[in-house]
Amino acid sequence: MAEHATHDQHAEAHESHSTRFYWMIGAILAVITAVEVAIFLVKDTIGHELFLAILFILSIAKGAGVVMYFMHLRGDARIFQLVFIVPFLLAVTLCLGFLTIFSHHVGIAG
Amino acid sequence: MAIAEQKLTSVSPATASSGSFPWRTWLATVDHKKIGIIYIVSAFVFFLLGGIEAMLMRVQLGTPNNTFLSADVYNQLFTMHATTMIFLMVMPMNVGIGNYVVPLMIGARDMAFPRLNALSIWLFLGGGLLLYLSFLTGGAPNGGWFAYAPLTQVQYSPTAGMDYWILGLGLTGIASIAGALNFIVTVLNMRAPGMSINRMPLFVWMNLVVSFIIIFAFPTFTVGSIQLLFDRQFGAAFFNPAQGGDAVLWQHLFWFFGHPEVYILILPVMGMISEILPVFSRKPIFGYSFVAFSGVGIGFLGFIVWAHHMFGVGMGPMANAFFAAASMVIAIPTGVKIFNWIATMWAGDVRLTTAMLYAIGFISMFIIGGISGITLASPPIDLQQTDTYYVVAHLHYVLFGGSILGLFAGAFYWFPKMTGRLLNERIGKIQFWLMMISFNITFFPMHIVGTEGMPRRIYTYEAGMGWDMWNLIETIGTFLLAFSVLIFIYNVLSSLRNGEVASNDPWDAATLEWTMPSPPPSYNFLHIPVVNSRRPLWDAKYPHAAGDDHHGPSSAPSQVRYEYTDEETEGAKDIHMPSLTFSPMIFSGGLTVASLGFIYINKDILGLPTRVAALGFILIGIVMVSIAIRGWILDSRKDSPYLSQHH
Amino acid sequence: MSATSHAHDEAGQAPLVGSLGVDSRKLGLWAFIGSETLFFTALITTHLIFYARTKADLAAKGMLEHMDPKLYLGIDLTTILAAILLASSLTMVLALAATKSKEWPKFRFWLLATIVLGSAFVLGQVYEFTHLYHEGLKLAPQYVYEGETVKSLFGVTFFVMTGFHGLHVTLGVVWLIAVYFKVRRFAASPENPMDVELVGLYWHFVDLVWVAIFTLVYLI
């Protein structure tokens, strides 16, 4: 954490984007949502594993778009990234840990 | 010690405007020091209540087949004892001392969000009072502080006690999260020039780590208790296996919070110890970075060990092995801290003041509790000891022998700063030894009866199990322990009146809070200090020994009474502090009233009138909160630093 | 809100910047968002645990089709709701951009659009809840599907999880309205860009939670 001690008054320098850029991001997110629903409708033909893989990749892309560009986390002060990404990783750990424990796989959790 | 007798004249712009109602300056205060003192005093009152509950239980357990308490009352008492000591005593006591000391240590005039700080204290008090109200309204919570499902389901715990527990702790939980956010922003963003992260006092470090633990650990508890509330009020059955729910899920959600909670209780106290030991050893802390980063390490590891509280549940061997290994790994950063404290004292010029005695007492008792903790991290041993008094012994060695002895060290250390008078050292030392001895008389035999198989959480036991003598000894120890607390109360009351007047720096300390008058004026620093090292005050007093890598002072301290001159305090009138406001108190009062209403919204007591009254309480609460929000926004505009620039 | 940052004031330009070089309120809000992340994770995880269990039960009984959210929750309405919330994130960021370039009429338009879209989402969710309730999904450990009683916590976990998300959206709408009126009343206040940025961060986070719920609850 020591690197955050620098009294850098310009740490909060935003990447400023044009309005057009936000419209573009919005359009991309809308397309991703449409694709998500589309593959949901054809999931029986592409198989469950492939469906889940595509769905997760698309959702992560969508979430990352919101966080990086709408919330401006990309290019914002590192302390904001820290106080969001650390609990996010903790949350992923919580979710995967609980799902593993409650999976009742013999030898792992039951 | 040479002490100037002159009374300090500190003008506080905030208090000067309050007219003839001194109580207003407390109830409407946003001053971190006053809020800290309200925290400390109310936590101490809860400490006494929790202690009385413990004594009643010990009287019941002092002899076999005792009928002093019924099983039901016993359950209420042990639930409330633990809940009180954890949520209403150690946590707020840590927060209170942190509230008072942290802004002073980092060279700030207040916390980052003074009104949010006031909200935290009143929400904490509202939650605590709501919990204790349950004793008068049909029975206190009786499902244990861990609230294991399905015992907490409405059919097994039919009084409103557990609802009071959920909502009372919900309020203190909001207070904790708000307070932790305040600490995070204060510590990260309100430091004086030069007070870089790696120059912060270790107490500040530990408060920062604990604040992060609080905001990451409390949400799972909030979710679990909301789900429990839905079970009890609306028949949701999250944790009711008979209807498809899962009792073990509660344990996972609870301990995912509950284990980090243990570090929430101990880490700030470790920070206090790390301040006190160097001062009374006249040596800088040994291995500053190791102490700081082992605290961070404990914080992280604390999140992946929760299921070691649940070896008795019967998870799979892989899960058990993982949580056992992770738990044992925590011994490493903890051990690093202990060795650093010992190395700090090693070859130091040790002064055995009461604060120092308590700090050393903390280390020694915490080592015993730590070692019994390592034994419990091993599943085969844990399966033997779980739910016995061995666990009770372990947790009291870390929570009483650890947290509470450390808090006494902090009390003796910072009392002169907070009140302007020193606690009596002679009485303090007598009290220390009495407390150390009676603590061990009370809790050490629990190791023995525990290994002999005495279960915990029972309200009585048969004679002739081999437990009788030890239990009687424990009960006697409890009374001695209570007597030592009474001595402390006497010491505080008499010292407040007649105690030796404290100079700014009675301990020859190293950190910024000792540069100010005792007690400091409401605006703290006349001029925000510029910091050049980890020990700014030692550097100023002993310039020849300055610098991070050199040893600290070895000569006798120069007793200088720093005072703000009249001229300077006149200048302090230009320091803009936030105005008094009742909005935080009205806000938390509203939430408390609404919570009380929510408890009875779906209860079949007296039929319709109860529900109407409950609904009325909720509406009153919402109105109060709305009024408070409006007042809050107006206050925040009145005090806005943006606007004060342009007046 | 800060009382002590005068040392860092620079003539109305980001006066709340502290020792880390960031705004105190923004730092506090990001940390709060971190905390909220764990709050929603715990709710979603609970839902997934019971969902997997119900699914296994139904598969054993040969009734797996009951768990197809397409039949069960209705994907059409949810897709519309997801699109609404996504659109409101776009209007929110446009409102913030207008604040920074001091184009106040534009700002009012986009913020009002966000308020309208947010309210539409809440109303849509109220409609969805009543619809599902009439279909037989209750806040109870069992539900009725086409006349058959199924023992499952699906309704319980679903309503509590999405209900708390809806509560967050509702509070977000209230906050947006408050900011709208505050900016209208004190148009010259240098606090405005940060006020808008803060409510925006919260709003995008609520959208982010819906991205997760949409995938993990409605699509899987």
The pLDDT-based confidence of C96 (bands split at 50, 70, 90) is very high
Give the sign of the dihedral formed by CA B499, CA B500, CA B501, CA B506: negative
Q: What is the percent of chain B where pLDDT is above 70?
A: 91
pLDDT (0 to 100) of residue C149: 79
Q: Which of B338-352, C16-30, C51-65 has the highest mean pLDDT?
A: B338-352
Structural domain includes residue B413? no
pLDDT at C4: 33
CA distance C70 to C64: 12
Summarised one tens digit per residue, pLDDT across range B287-307 is 999 999 999 999 999 999 999
Copy the structure tokens of residue B445. Answer: 């035999």
pLDDT of residue B245 exceeding 70: yes
A69 contact residues in C (CB cutoff 8 A): 93
- Which of 10-29 (C) contact A at CB < 8 A? 14, 17, 19-23, 26-27
pLDDT confidence of residue B1: 32
C112 touches chain A (CB under 8 A): no
Do residues B420 and B373 make contact, with C-beta atoms less than 8 angstroms apart? no
Looking at per-residue confidence, does B449 or C53 come out higher? B449
Q: What is the mean pLDDT of residues B257-270?
A: 96
pLDDT per residue as tens digits for the range B89-101: 999 999 999 999 9
**Weakest-pLDDT range from A23-27, B188-192, B571-575, B600-604:** B571-575
Does A106 score more than 50 pLDDT? yes
What average pLDDT does chain A have?
83
> C-chain residues within 8 Å CB-CB of A104?
none
Q: Which residues of chain A have a CB within 8 Å of the CB of B296? A: 1
Task: Give B605's pLDDT tier (boundaries 50, 70, 90).
Answer: confident
Q: Is C145 helix (H, G, I), strand (E, B) or coil?
A: strand
Mean pLDDT of chain B, nearest integer: 90
How many Å apart are CA B190 and CA B180, to the nearest integer?
A: 15
- Rounded Cα–Cα distance for residues A6 and A11 (Å): 9
Token digits of residue B369: 């509790």
In total, how many domains does chain B have? 2
What is the spatial distance between Cα B369 and Cα B270, in angstroms, rounded to a whole number? 14
Cβ under 8 Å to A: C residues 172-211:
200-201, 204-205, 207-208, 211
Dihedral over alpha carbons B457, B463, B466, B467 (to 10 degrees): 40
| Span C156-170, average pLDDT | 96
Please say if the pLDDT value at position B548 is more than 60.
no
Say which range, A43-57, B202-216, C79-93, has the weakest mean pLDDT: A43-57
Quick: pLDDT tens for C192-217.
889 999 999 999 999 999 999 999 98
Non-local CB neighbours of C86 within 8 Å, separated by 6+ positions: A26, A29, A30, A33, C207
Three-state DSSP at B48 gives helix
Contact B216 A1 (CB under 8 A): no
Question: Per-residue pLDDT tens for C3-24?
Answer: 333 333 333 333 456 788 899 9
Band of pLDDT at residue C113, cut at 50, 70 and 90 = very high
Instruction: Grade residue B639 by pLDDT with cuts at 50, 70 and 90.
Output: confident
Give the per-residue pLDDT at C186.
80
Helices (H), B134-238: 161-189, 202-234
The predicted pLDDT at position B549 comes to 47
Contact B305, B369 (CB under 8 A): no
B177 pLDDT above the threshold of 60: yes
| pLDDT tens digits, one per residue of B346-401 | 988 899 999 999 999 999 999 999 999 999 999 999 999 999 999 999 999 999 99
Interface of B with A (CB under 8 A): 184, 188, 193, 196-198, 212, 215-216, 220, 246, 249, 252, 256, 296, 303-304, 307, 315-319
Q: What is the pLDDT of residue B647?
A: 35
Q: Which of B216, B316, B319 sits opposite A87 (nearest CB)?
A: B216
pLDDT value of position B532: 86
pLDDT at C89: 96
Residues of C in contact with B243 (CB under 8 A): 141-142, 151
Answer whether A77 sits within 8 Å of C89, measured CB to CB. Answer: no
Q: What is the mean pLDDT of residues A49-77?
A: 92
Which tens digit of pLDDT belongs to each residue from B123-168? 999 999 999 999 999 889 999 999 999 999 999 999 999 999 999 9
Across the interface, whether the CB atoms of B196 and A5 are under 8 A apart is answered: yes
Choose which CATH entry (3.40.640.10, 1.10.150.120, 3.40.50.970, 1.20.120.80) describes domain C22-219.
1.20.120.80
Q: Which of B238, B636, B645 has the CB atom closest to C156's CB atom?
A: B238
pLDDT in the model for residue C71:
61
Q: Which residues of B touch C137 (CB under 8 A)?
A: none
From C153's Cα to the closest Cα of chain B, the distance in A is 7
Q: Is A105 on the interface with B (CB under 8 A)?
A: yes
ipTM: 0.91
pLDDT in tens, B404-428: 999 999 999 999 999 999 999 999 9
Note down the domain range covering B610.
Answer: 591-647
Model confidence at B565, pLDDT cuts 50, 70, 90, reads low
User: Smallest CA–CA separation between C39 and chain B, in Å?
Assistant: 5
CB B83 within 8 Å of CB B169: yes
Query: Would B573 be classed as within a structural domain?
Result: no
Q: What is the mean pLDDT of the segment spanning B485-507?
A: 95
Specify the higher pLDDT residue, B337 or A46.
Answer: B337
CATH at residue B39: 1.20.210.10
Please determine, for residue B564, whether its predicted confidence score (pLDDT) is greater than 90: no
**With 90 as the cut, is the pLDDT of residue C75 above it?**
no
* Cβ–Cβ below 8 Å for B197 and A83: no
Which range among B36-45, B250-259, B288-297, C93-102 shows the weakest confidence by mean pLDDT? C93-102
Minimal C-alpha gap between B229 and chain A (Å)? 21
Give the pLDDT score at C18: 76
What is the full DSSP assignment across B556-590?
PPP-------HHHHHHGGGS--PPP-SHHHHHHHH
Q: Which two tokens stand for residue C61?
A: 């009984």
CB contact (8 A) between residue B236 and residue C156: yes
Whether B568 has a pLDDT exceeding 70, the answer reads no
Size of interface A-B (CB pairs under 8 A): 46
Indicate whether B508 belongs to any domain: no
Distance, CA of B228 to CA of B617 (rounded, Å): 22
Q: By percentage, how much of chain B surpasses pLDDT 90? A: 77
Please answer yes or no on whether B633 and C22 come within 8 Å at the CB atom: no
**Mean pLDDT of the region B9-30:** 61
Whole-model pTM over 0.90? yes
User: Position C90: which residue type?
Assistant: L
**Average pLDDT of C58-80?**
73
Report pLDDT for C15: 41
**In contact, B467 and B448? CB cutoff 8 Å:** no
Q: Is C139 on the interface with B (CB under 8 A)?
A: yes
Higher pLDDT among residues A55 and C16, named by residue: A55
Band of residue C62 on the pLDDT scale cut at 50, 70, 90: confident
